[in-house]
């Protein structure tokens, strides 16, 4: 009985210790995530002069000339993000399949070679990409869209490879062998067995590529001469010119678009689990 009480007290002490260990993360979460988001919502729904609640900031970005700029920025952001995501998945899928297949990849070094660019500073990669494109005759001033998409794909391709690679490592090999034994051709095995099993990885790769691409403006600024404006660049422009209220509105629009993509991913994942 006494041993049980001692064990219970020790477990209670461990729980208390764990709570205290979570304090640094809690403080970081409040100061650098929750507080900035609350500040954005405050500026978005408050008047710049009086500080009172207003919806004028939202209506101002969707009327007159501002609406043209807003819809153009949102359209370019979604277009660049969608195109980059599709290209990244098309390139990443066969790469991930080869890396996850022990017949082709007998050394984990190949995996690190594809993930190595993520270890290099983001700005350095962008500047190097620009110089490399110029060397091959692609002037960003003459081909802004082509150069921007190439830069986006190069920078975010590892974000697509990694989730696909992790998913393909867990493929049920018995199902693939069974499909082949039942007379399915290699093409049928791929499209009717392998692809359906890797759909969660495809959805995860699409989300991990789409969300950062839509808000990333450094690449497009460097590789398009600022001719392609993404929503992240619009937010930076507004805040640099002390337009905190309008910049906060654009930030909320970006959060809403990212939130919709997350909801879509969760819905698709739950639907896939139900199908299984």
**Number of domains comprising the chain:** 2
How confident is the model at residue 112, as a pLDDT? 77
* Domain with 19 in it: 2-44
Q: Any idea what DSSP says for residue 55?
A: S
- Pairwise CA distance, residues 32 & 72, whole Å: 30
Residue 55 lies in a domain: no
Residues 87 and 11 both lie in one domain: no
71 plus 37 within the same structural domain: no
Same structural domain for residues 118 and 15?
A: no
DSSP label of 63: S
- Cβ atoms of 231 and 250 within 8 Å: the answer is yes
Of 255, 256, 237, the closest CA to residue 246 belongs to 237
Closest CA to 41 of 57, 25, 29: 57
- Asked if the structure places residue 59 within a domain, the reply is no
What whole-number distance in Å separates Cα of residue 99 and Cα of residue 108? 8
Other beta carbons less than 10 A from residue 155's beta carbon: 24
Please report, in tens digits, the pLDDT of each residue of the chain (276 residues total).
555 555 555 555 656 667 777 788 889 999 999 999 999 999 999 998 888 999 999 998 988 778 888 999 999 999 999 999 999 999 999 999 888 887 766 666 777 777 777 788 888 889 999 999 999 999 998 999 999 999 999 999 999 999 999 999 888 888 888 888 888 888 888 888 888 899 889 988 998 999 889 888 889 999 998 889 899 999 999 999 889 999 999 999 999 988 888 887 777 666 665 555
In a domain, 154, yes or no: yes
For residues 255 and 136, state if they share a domain.
yes
Closest CA relative to residue 133, chosen from 149, 147, 121: 147
> Do 24 and 111 lie in a common domain?
no
CB 152 within 8 A of CB 84: yes
Same domain, 148 and 11: no
Please provide the distance, in angstroms rounded to a whole number, between the alpha carbons at the two ends of the chain: 48
């Amino acid at each position: 009985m006494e041993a049980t009480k001692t064990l219970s007290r020790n477990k209670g002490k461990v729980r208390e210790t764990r709570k205290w260990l979570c304090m640094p993360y809690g403080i970081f979460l409040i100061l650098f995530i929750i507080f900035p988001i609350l500040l954005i919502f405050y500026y978005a729904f408050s008047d710049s002069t009086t500080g009172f609640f207003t919806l004028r900031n939202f209506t101002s970005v969707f009327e007159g000339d501002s609406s043209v700029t807003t819809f153009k920025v949102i359209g370019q952001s979604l277009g660049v993000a969608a195109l980059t995501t599709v290209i990244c998945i098309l390139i990443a899928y066969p790469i991930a399949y080869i890396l996850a297949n022990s017949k082709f990849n007998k050394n984990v070094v190949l995996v690190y070679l594809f993930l190595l660019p993520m270890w290099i500073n983001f700005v350095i990669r962008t500047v190097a990409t620009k110089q490399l494109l110029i060397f091959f005759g692609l002037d960003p001033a003459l081909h802004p869209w082509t150069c921007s998409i190439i830069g986006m794909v190069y920078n975010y391709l590892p974000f697509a490879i990694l989730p696909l690679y992790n998913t393909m490592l867990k493929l049920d090999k018995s199902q693939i062998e069974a499909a082949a034994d039942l007379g399915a051709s290699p093409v049928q095995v791929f499209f009717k067995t392998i692809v359906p099993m890797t759909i969660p990885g495809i959805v995860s790769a699409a989300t991990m590529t789409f969300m950062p691409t839509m808000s990333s403006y450094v690449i497009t600024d460097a590789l398009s001469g600022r001719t392609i404006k993404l929503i992240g660049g619009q937010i930076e422009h507004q805040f640099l010119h002390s337009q905190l209220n309008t910049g906060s509105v654009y930030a909320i629009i970006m959060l809403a678009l990212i939130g919709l993509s997350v909801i879509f991913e969760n819905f698709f994942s739950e639907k896939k689990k139900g199908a299984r």
